[in-house]
Amino acid sequence: MKDVVLALVGGAMIGAAAGLLLLFLGRIAGVSGIFAGAMLPLGQGPVDRRWRFEFLAGLLAGGLVVASVAPEAIPPSTKDAWILAWAGVLVGLGVGFGEGCTSGHGVCGIGRLSVRSLVATVVFVAVGMMTASWIGSST
């Protein structure tokens, strides 16, 4: 029961954060787009980078807080660093092909009743399930 409550609270916090970003800044909480916009060379892309860096800093700070307050909540990884690096590359490619990430499509897009985001999220979940079944479920 505790896991269900924690999942509900975590989901509500993610939804609230996405809603507040949309309400106050008029921006979609698509983390890959936020990151990409923050990393463009100066003079290219959006001029409003400050909120992007603040958003990304908040994500990092949240992880650091959890790691320091409840380190048992973060399971150790048994995978080699090169496997994790390749996984990151594949996720990045998927974000490019899907024109967005799980937060942009799954959290914000579905909340805005976007059919495109619904389709993208179904594909993300299906491919993720197939990959987990193929590779195995160990962390």
Q: What is the DSSP letter of 43?
A: T
- pLDDT for 137 beyond 70: no
d(CA 106, CA 125): 10
d(CA 99, CA 23): 23
Q: What residues does each domain of the chain span?
A: 2-135
Higher-pLDDT residue of 103 and 65 is 65
- pLDDT for 139 beyond 60: no
pLDDT of residue 93: 84
d(CA 104, CA 120): 10
Label residue 138 by pLDDT band (50, 70, 90). Answer: low
Q: Please name the amino acid found at residue 7.
A: A
Residues 8-48: tens digit of each pLDDT: 998 899 999 999 999 999 998 888 888 888 888 776 766 67
Q: What is the DSSP letter of 76?
A: P
